Amino acid sequence: MKWSTTVHQVRHGGEEYRVVKAGPRSGRAVLYDNGWSLDMYVDRQAAESLAVAWGLAARSRRSLVYVPLKAGREGPAGIGEWQRSSVVLDLVLVQPALGFPPSRWKAVRGRLGAGRPHTMEIPATDFPRGGEDDDRPARRGNRRDELRFGHAAGTLFLTGTATAFRSTGALVHALVTDGPARALDYPGTHECVTLEHDGARHGRPLRHGPGMMHIEYAHGWKVA
């Protein structure tokens, strides 16, 4: 998959950060904070851009992968009012090797500027497909396969190793490959992915903000 991004170099607090802005240039996406869960809706084009962002995060130990989402607030028609929220978030994916404190994000984001256009290519082989154990690695209890959630400046931070982004990215990529087919073959059902904060399965819930993220493929999205 090829995707147009912009690359930004930002200095802040004596450090220089590389930010790859990989938001959906076409298609629709929204990420709601409903208090008890994080609910994201994507059409096919946006699902593809999301999979690219996951692939970039797996390959980029020293970059912040920024997915701006706040522009689309309405969400798709057909979802209940209780599924919508006035709290709409952006998304950042980052590996722990960078050591980036989310508290710096507001200042870094404010200094992005125009950036440098760059086309990224993420091959489908970056997203492994396999059996149940392969597709849902968090069930194995391997913390290298899990993501940590964080919240700062109207943004959800997902922090994880390359292994975590590759394995959870396979689930996100399945929205692109399986979502349209399911919508056509089984009308009224949906294709979705559920991600949990590292530790949620072991009784260590996230203190600030929801620790569960639900991503749903919205076939033929029409604005409400």
Q: Where are the domains of the chain?
A: 2-217
Give Cα separations from 128 to 6, 68, 113, 169, 178 (angstroms).
Answer: 27, 26, 35, 9, 14
Q: Which pLDDT does position 223 carry in this prediction?
A: 56
Indicate the residue type of 97: A
Q: Which pLDDT does position 25 carry in this prediction?
A: 62
Q: Which pLDDT does position 142 carry in this prediction?
A: 52
Q: What angle do CA 23, 209, 194 make, to 5 degrees?
A: 60
Give Cα separations from 166 to 2, 144, 170 (angstroms).
Answer: 17, 11, 6
Q: Which pLDDT does position 112 carry in this prediction?
A: 94
Report CA torsion sign: 151, 27, 172, 189.
Answer: positive
DSSP type of residue 17? E
The answer to whether 28 and 47 have CB atoms below 8 angstroms apart is no
**SS3 assignment for 172-223:** HHHHHHHHHHHHHHCCCCCCEEEEEECCHHHCCCCCCCCCEEEEEECCCCCE
Q: Which pLDDT does position 2 carry in this prediction?
A: 75
H helices of 76-188, in order, are 105-109, 132-135, 162-185
Q: Which pLDDT does position 138 carry in this prediction?
A: 41
Q: Which pLDDT does position 124 carry in this prediction?
A: 81
**Regions of the chain short of the pLDDT cut 70:** 24-27, 71-73, 77, 82, 130-144, 183, 185-186, 188-189, 199-208, 222-224
pTM (predicted TM-score): 0.86
